[in-house]
Amino acid sequence: MLGQLQAQFMENWKALSESAANGAMPQIKDRRFKSDAWKESPAHLMMAHMYLLSSDAMKQMVKAAAVPEEVKEQLGFSVSQWVDAMSPANFLATNPEAQKLLLETGGQSLHSGIQNFMNDLAKGRITQTDESKFAVGENLAITPGSIVYRNEYFELIQYKPQTQQVYQRPLLMVPPCINKYYILDLQPGNSLIEYIVSQGFTVFVTSWRNPLPEDTDGIEKATWDDYVEDGVLNAIDLVREISGQPKINVLGFCVGGTMLSTALAVAASRRQSRVASLTLLATMLDFCDTGTLGVFANESHAKIRESQIGQGGLMTGRELSTTFSFLRPNELVWNYVVSNYLKGETPMPFDLLYWNSDSTNLPGPFFSWYFRHTYLENRLREPKALTVCGQPVDLGKIKVPAFVQASKEDHIVPWKTAYVSSQLLTGDVRFVLGASGHIAGVINPVSKNRRSYWTNDAHDNSVEPDQWFDSASEHPGSWWPEYAKWLAEQSGKLVPAPVEQGSESSPVLEPAPGSYVKVRAV
């Protein structure tokens, strides 16, 4: 196999050399080399071709390596990281576009780039958007509402009705505590919360606390059980009490969906029926294929984390953010190295990327439990294999109607994994597949009329994923109206919208978005 790869490489190299000698090198489609400066410089264009040819050969060698699949995945990830980092576009000495700009601006682009680099060095992260254009509570997370409860884990937001009548049964959203909740409430017109409220639903959201190293109340020792019991289950009971409804609808996003499903399994083991329906967005319950993140799921990594923070301490948001960025390094790392530092440009304002930079710390014991029992051992899918809050966890006991959404290009929660996860639920499941990735596939506003989604009325989620997709129907635009229609069927009759928020035992504490969401990780 190695000999074949070497022969193919030499053949490609010969063809490239002949093209260069004839002055007719093929154009490159790779966006890193798309500018005219590369096309106008035969030497740089040749360098780009050599780089692409060599990087492809290295990746082919990894695929051909006679090693276990787990080792091959880790080797492939490492080689890919190295290859992406060594792109000639990433260095001033080998980037003709940056060199041309340097001459055209009389050195100002380099001066601005160095300044951008020093500013990012002080922040400890790469700037991906013009952060001066955003502020939480001013132009982000501004759907009107109130904080009606606060404990050491979360603040509960109740949103103000936007219609004269609302559906009787409210919806509680549980976002991931690994990020800030306002990914669900970005700018007006780009907010899932705003849309759901506008459709006549009473919406509550858990805004998770961002623990800091200087906190002294023991939050750094919080466990998965703590977040399930005093976080999710507590929030469910609060919404039931405030709304006066014995059962509510609940929605979980990403890790929030994993936490929420665990909580419902705990409640089921206690013979408590608290919810009428479950919605999961980009959520894994069966961690059979964890995508690119799977390269980190090994025993040595788990033991290191457990020894470092398993009994107390923080998994920092900065480290988590860096890890996620390097899952797509060309888009989220090297793209900004080139534009910010080599060209001295200021990134365009983009609300989603501002949220991406607003990371959250996690208690070490919580993270260590989650990493071992899901990513590493995949125990959550096994009935009664785990005990949470003193109860055996069996996801099969979650028998309520469920709406499960996944995104076709999601590299964090592969859509087939989300699909297989939905098979652990025993209620009536409606599976919907959105276009795009982990965030853009979820945050796809109706007003923009972009992308598409797939549904399948011929098959439920009991068939294989490929069989489901092959016979699915594609629909243009956002999947949000599809969800609003389904949610209305789970929400009872329409009643007059409440005038006040909160209740006597859960009074309004302050306006949304509250205090917790404004705490920034350092």
Which residues carry out catalysis? 254
Residue 163 · residue 198 · CB < 8 Å: yes
With CA atoms as reference, report the closest residue to 498 among 172, 249, 137, 203: 203
Q: Answer yes or no: are the C-beta atoms of 391 and 239 closer than 8 Å.
A: no
Q: How far apart are CA 188 and CA 186, in angstroms?
A: 7
Q: Which amino acid is at 67?
A: V
Residue 350 φ/ψ, nearest 5 degrees: -150, 115
Which residues are paired to 132 by β-bridges? none
Residue 507, number of CB atoms within 10 A of its CB? 13
Contact 157, 516 (CB under 8 A): no
The set of residues, in sequence order, having a beta carbon less than 8 Å from that of 49 and lying 6+ positions away, is 16, 20, 25, 26, 28
| 3-state SS class at 285 | coil
Tell me the C-alpha distance between 282 and 379, whole Å: 19
Burial (CB count <10 Å: 0-12, 13-18, 19+), residue 162: middle
Contacts of 128 (CB under 8 A, 6+ apart): 332, 336, 347, 350, 353, 356, 357
Residues 324, 316 contacting (CB under 8 angstroms): no
The SS3 assignment for 56 reads: helix
Contact indicator for 209, 178 with CB cutoff of 8 Å:
no
Element (H, E) at 307: helix 299-309
Are 235 and 154 a contacting pair, CB within 8 Å? yes
Q: In this structure, are residues 212 and 480 in contact, taking their beta carbons and an 8 Å threshold?
A: no
| Cα dihedral 139→145→148→152 (10° resolution) | -20
Give residue 168's identity as a one-letter amino acid code: Q
Q: Is residue 206 within 8 Å of 154, Cβ to Cβ?
A: yes
71-79 long-range contacts (CB < 8 A, ≥24 apart) are: 73/294, 73/295, 74/295, 74/298, 77/292, 77/295
Do residues 315 and 364 lie in contact, with contact meaning Cβ atoms separated by under 8 Å? yes
Residues in the chain: 522
Which of the 8 DSSP states describes residue 178? T
Taken in order 367, 181, 475, 399, the sign of the CA dihedral is positive
- Nearest alpha-carbon partner for 424 in 254, 286, 267: 286
